């Protein structure tokens, strides 16, 4: 399958394009890019541009790597890594809608969707099958887990564990139940995830320590529950917090 580069598109010498790619008019793909098969880059997108980092040396040999089947819409910007020999990575079959931004050294898993104007600062990691709502913004070095639903206009400044829905400013609402069922999560996994969620977010104490104790001192039959709890053992930032129960809010009001 032939790759097509439309008139007025710019593909710099040294860029690597897989089979069947489409680079639309006025799109820019710099020499620092490696695109998998079937990647589509729409007009006015800039892929592989220099990072927005004041100390960056433009001679740094870094890259952007984009997985097969990913679609990049109009005016999207994806910046290359600030580190020599490293890359900003976007997985396979992702969908980056118009005006979204992926900063240097981000890593996106497969099937990630960034809605219009979603913004990722540097060094952000986003797990597979996660959806970022329009206008949502993520602070540098944050981790967003797998199959997370981030609401439009959300401000994310903390890590968001796998499988959750998050809104406003680091406000965990609940599990992404509809999304998980669509992905084939069974009843046993859903029950255990709910139990783990309740224990982690509504137990007093350090959330990282609570999750570690749950993982080591209780038996979990499903890989999904274990994976949820293992998320808390990694990273350097604090974690998004669950909305307080109405009963707790009522008690405070009384």
Looking up tokens 């564990």 gives 161
CA distance 141 to 229: 20
Q: Clarify whether 105 is annotated catalytic.
A: yes
- pTM for this one? 0.94
Give the pLDDT score at 245: 54
Give the pLDDT score at 1: 84
Catalytic residue among 48, 49, 105, 170: 105
Give the pLDDT score at 84: 98
Q: How many helices (H) and strands (E) does the chain have?
A: 5, 26
Q: Tell me the domain boundaries of the chain.
A: 4-141, 181-244
Strand partners, 113: 95, 131
Catalytic residue among 104, 111, 123, 129: 104
Q: Clarify whether 6 is annotated catalytic.
A: no
Catalytic residue among 48, 69, 109, 122: 122
CA distance 121 to 191: 34
**181-244: which CATH number, 1.10.15, 2.60.120, 1.20.1180, 1.10.760?**
1.20.1180
| pLDDT beneath 50, residues of the chain | 246-254
Q: Clarify whether 83 is annotated catalytic.
A: no
CATH assignment of 4-141?
Answer: 2.160.10.10
Q: Both tokens of residue 209?
A: 């320590």
């Amino acid at each position: 399958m032939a790759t097509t580069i439309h008139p007025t598109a710019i593909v710099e010498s040294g860029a690597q394009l897989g089979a069947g790619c489409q680079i639309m008019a006025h799109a820019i793909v710099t020499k620092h890019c490696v695109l998998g098969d079937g990647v589509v880059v729409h007009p006015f997108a800039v892929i592989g541009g220099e990072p927005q980092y004041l100390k960056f040396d433009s001679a740094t040999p870094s890259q952007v790597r984009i997985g097969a089947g990913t679609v990049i819409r109009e005016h999207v910007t994806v910046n290359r890594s600030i580190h020599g020999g490293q890359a900003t990575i976007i997985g396979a079959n992702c969908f980056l809608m118009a005006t979204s931004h992926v900063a240097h050294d981000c890593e996106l898993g497969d099937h990630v969707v960034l809605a219009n104007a979603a913004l990722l600062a540097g060094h952000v990691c986003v797990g597979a099958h996660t959806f970022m709502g329009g206008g949502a913004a993520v602070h540098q070095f944050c981790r967003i887990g797998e199959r997370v639903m981030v609401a439009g206009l959300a401000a994310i400044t903390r890590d968001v564990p796998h499988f959750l829905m998050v809104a406003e400013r680091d406000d965990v609402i609940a599990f992404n139940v509809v999304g998980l069922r669509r992905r084939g999560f069974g009843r046993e996994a859903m029950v255990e995830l709910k139990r783990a969620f309740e224990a982690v977010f509504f137990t007093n104490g350090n959330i990282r320590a609570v999750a570690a104790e749950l993982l080591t001192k209780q038996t979990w039959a499903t890989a999904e529950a274990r994976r949820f709890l293992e998320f808390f053992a990694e990273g350097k930032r604090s974690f998004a917090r669950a909305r307080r129960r109405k009963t707790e809010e009522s008690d405070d009001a009384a």
